[in-house]
Structure 1
Amino acid sequence: MLSLEKISELLGKESELLLQHTSSTIDKSLLHLPGPETVNEIYGPSSRNPQVLRSLGQLFGSGRLANTGYMSILPVDQGVEHSAGASFAKNPVYFDPENIVKLAIEGGCNAVASTFGVLASVSRKYAHKIPFLVKINHNELLTYPNHFDEVLFGTVEEAWNLGAMAVGATIYFGSENSDRQLVEIAHAFERAHELGMATVLWCYLRNDAFNKDVDYHLAADLTGQANHLGVTIQADIIKQKLPEVNGGYKALNTGTSSYGKLDERIYTQLTSDNPIDLCRYQVANCYMGRMGLINSGGASKGAEDLADAVRSAVVNKRAGGAGLISGRKAFQRPMADGVALLNAIQDVYLNKEITVA
């Protein structure tokens, strides 16, 4: 178990900024915070049927973070999303789907998220040992020239048949295909709930216009609105990249074009420059935490991965989020090291000295 001292050491020069921060934006008393009674108290009063609540109970009740209200998920859909060779060349054992599931189990994760093919290939052996989260749509990089469009790779019924507790999907908000994706996934999530499965939405932004002087794909105001659209179609859990900047709406509102709607209080009262406050705005857009926010772990950078993963977990937890979903940092290294990294993430959520800001 990582001590607070070790976590502080990994945070380095950001230690005080992140561990000592007191938020003066959206007060934590307004949030629905993760806890042992998350399923009963937060999801229970909703329209979700008992089968969905049971699935959520299994997701929140598995792994090292069982019954804390927090989640640690291993996602490995990179064989499609980033191509198998590019994703698994560093560690070819993960061409074999069984090793993906083994890593999630050994790493103490709440669930393993992957493709229809990966999870179906080992479902009879593992579906009863760790909750399966089937990613039902993907962006593939074999079409020439490459384009960016999430398309369905199977049906919700297929996910249910292979024993999944949940389905996941991506919508590229801001893209030319986002309206179609929104309708497709809203219908898919409705069907998943009918069958008793939980739903997780990757609320990602995708538009070349969002790349300006900085990358506004990571802007708190834009990602926050993407989250709000995600919970609108009744996603139970939102996956989002950690925000690094703000002011996306302002940057895209030029003298010649108008984009979206904004209120200056988004920038002056509801957020600050602190990473925790930027993330809290994302939590606020998940119905003040009624639907859990899990942030992504990001790409592997080698030696920096452990510190980066711990930092992301600290920001998410102190913002009021519900956990982390980290893949490449874990599976693009030897399994023992991947397990250690996943455990380090979980240690942040298990450490009672790290509280909501």
Structure 2
Amino acid sequence: MSVRNITGLLGDKAEYLLNHQCKTISQEQLHLPGPDFVDRIWINSDRNPQVMRNLQGMYSNGRLANTGYLSILPVDQGIEHSAGASFAKNPIYFDPENIIKLAMEGGCNAVATTYGGLGILARKYAHKIPFIVKVNHNEFLTYPNKFDQIMFASIKAGWNLGAAAVGATIYFGSEESTRQIQEVSKAFEMAHELGMATILWCYLRNPAFKTKEKDFHVSADLTGQANHLGVTIEADIIKQKLPENNGGYLALNTKESPYGKNDKRIYEELTSDHPIDLCRYQVANCYMGRAGLINSGGASSGDSDMAEAVTTAIVNKRAGGMGLISGRKAFQRPMKEGVEILNAIQDVYLDKGITIA
């Protein structure tokens, strides 16, 4: 995709997004993606050679190979959102082989999906594209609906099917988060011992985080802290929703219900209301980018998906992030169109004219 096409998709937001200069956290303080990321960052860590090999394998695959950026196709919605609701728009994806084919045709670095979906095709594809096994899920069949990430697969099982990495979700802020943190921490420890990389979906979930005015599940200060908890349990890569607002701690902290700890410099110096600055705060909480931040692509909106995907990629890249993990915008449409969406995202990271803010 040419710069002209990207500018056309952005419309009146082009100047705002492409020419923004970040005056909060400077890019010089960040550890930015690059071809030497594993040698520059992970060589000094406690990760063993097998983990570094698998990380490098992801960075060396697909259209973004050897750039330090990642484009990952995640399809766990068959459990998280129910298979019918997720695949009715495009029933071919009831068959997990088509999920893997979409990731390969779309030039992705890796494919992330369920233990069963990867296990049933492991011998055919594990050596062709890096696998990321999602080991826990919120199942959507218990009545009434509940929201709790529970383990679906063992780490050893993921290793046996040839996975390069494991993925897990923690619902930070929920009543169940303490148990989930402990479970995922132990799972990540074992994954590293066996040589697999770790990716954490650092999602917030608490009804109190959503008010009449704002949804603080996508607040920069709260998601940033979730990221910081994620890297503390040694997630190598953090998946997070793109921030849409800020001030979650401020809104939720009252005399009647004290919440968290705060510093006004978070809002006055380290962030602004610009989406790139909000995303940079997320990157800062990932050890200043030592653990890569990949933002999620969000739900499919129809005709606006291409523009939304490109916008998210630009915000992530210019903030200092490591890429996008976009699923529904790609698989809830014909495969050819899904490939086009994935390629458009990748084109942002391949475009040297789109620089770090």
- TM-score normalised by L of structure 2: 0.99
Q: 2:349 is matched by which residue type in structure 1? A: Y
Separation in 1, partners of 2:94, 2:140: 17
Whole-Å separation in 1 of the counterparts to 2:263 and 2:152: 39
SS at match of 2:353: coil
Structure 2: which 5+ residue stretches go unaligned? none
The answer for the alignment partner of 1:293 in structure 2 is: 293
| Alpha-carbon distance in 1 for matches of 2:82, 2:20 | 40
Tell me which residue corresponds to 1:82. Answer: 81
User: 5 Å matches for 1:25-104?
Assistant: 25-104=24-103
Deviations 1:20-48 (A, max 9, x none): 00000000000000000001101111111
Q: 1:257 is aligned with what amino acid?
A: S
- Matched residue, 1:219: 219
Deviations 1:78-125 (CA, angstroms, capped at 9, x unpaired): 110000000000000000110000000000000000000100011100
CA distance in 1, matches of 2:37, 2:150: 32
Partner of 1:318: 318
Q: Give me the whole-angstrom Cα distance separating, in 1, the residues matched to 2:111 and 2:153.
A: 18
Q: Give the CA deviation at 1:6.
A: 1.0
Matched position secondary structure for 2:41: helix
Q: Is 1:356 the equivalent of 2:356? A: yes
1:214, 1:262 → 2: CA distance?
19
Report how far residue 12 of structure 1 moved.
1.3
Alignment partners' CA distance in 2, 1:20 and 1:171: 35
> Match for residue 308 of structure 1?
308
Corresponding residue SS for 1:44: helix
**Residue 208, structure 1, aligned to residue 207, structure 2:** yes
- Answering whether residue 338 of structure 2 is matched by residue 328 of structure 1, we say no
* TM-score, L = length of structure 1: 0.99
**Which residue does the alignment assign to 2:267?**
267
Which amino acid in the other structure matches residue 105 of structure 1?
M
Deviation at 1:9, TM superposition (A): 1.0
1:20 matched to 2:16: no
Q: Any runs of at least 4 consecutive aligned residues in structure 1 with deviations exceeding 4 A, and if so which?
A: none
Aligned to 2:341: 341
Following the alignment from structure 1 to structure 2, what is the Cα–Cα distance between the partners of residues 255 and 229? Answer: 26
Alpha-carbon distance in structure 2 between the residues aligned to 1:250 and 1:274: 18
Alignment partners' CA distance in 1, 2:41 and 2:4: 33
Aligned to 1:151: 150
Letter in 2 for 1:238: I
Deviation at 1:11, TM superposition (A): 1.0
Where in structure 2 are the equivalents of 1:164-175 lying within 5 Å? 164-175=163-174
Q: What SS does the corresponding residue of 1:352 show, helix, strand or coil?
A: coil
- Match for 1:129: what amino acid? K
Q: Which residue of 2 aligns with 1:199?
A: 198
- Supply the AA of the counterpart residue of 2:335: M
What is the distance in 1 between the residues matched to 2:13 and 2:138? 35
User: What is the distance in 2 between the residues matched to 1:17 and 1:140?
Assistant: 40
Q: Does 1:251 align with 2:261?
A: no
Secondary structure of 1:324's aligned partner: strand
Three-state SS of the structure 2 residue aligned to 1:199 is strand
Show the counterpart of 2:117: 118
Distance 2:111 2:176 in 1: 28
SS of 2:306's equivalent in the other structure is helix
**In structure 1, C-alpha distance between the alignment counterparts of 2:275 and 2:19, rounded to whole Å:** 12
Identity of aligned residues (%): 71
Distance 1:320 1:331 in 2: 27
What do the CA deviations read for 1:247-284 (whole angstroms, capped 9, x no partner)? 00000012311100110000000000100000000000
Matched with 1:109 is 108
What is the rounded CA distance, in whole Å, between the counterparts of 1:45 and 1:37 in structure 2?
A: 13
Unaligned runs of 5+ in 1: none
Q: Write the letter of the residue equivalent to 2:140.
A: L
Root-mean-square deviation over aligned CA pairs: 0.5
Moved more, 176-185 or 7-16: 7-16
Matches within 5 A, 1:175-194: 175-194=174-193
Encode CA deviations 1:189-212: one digit per residue, 9 max, x unaligned.
000000000000000000000001
Q: How does 1:120-139 map to 2 (within 5 A)?
A: 120-139=119-138
Deviations 1:124-171 (Å, cap 9, x if unpaired)?
000000000000000011000001000000100000001100000000
Q: d(CA) in 2 for partners of 1:82 and 1:216?
A: 21
